[in-house]
Amino acid sequence: MRERIRDKERLLHIQNAIEVLMVRKDTHTLEEVVSDPIIFYGYVKHIEIIGEAVYMLTK
């Protein structure tokens, strides 16, 4: 069961992941991101964090 009380924590996770993505977006070219699995999966992980946190928010 989703807990409304944890929504604030989830929203902070979403905000943090977005901030990381926004700060890092100009650090690498698209070619660098696609060719380096470490960089690529770093971006993917933050997108996963956003998706999982959004899914767990109360309706």
User: How is the chain split into domains, by residue range?
Assistant: 4-56
pLDDT value, residue 1: 55
- The model's confidence at residue 2, banded by pLDDT at 50, 70 and 90, is low
| Residue whose C-alpha is closest to residue 51's, from 5, 3, 18 | 18
Give the integer Cα–Cα distance in Å for 46 and 26.
16
- The model's confidence at residue 49, banded by pLDDT at 50, 70 and 90, is very high
Output the six-digit token pair for 50.
């956003």
| Number of neighbours of residue 24 by Cβ within 10 angstroms | 14
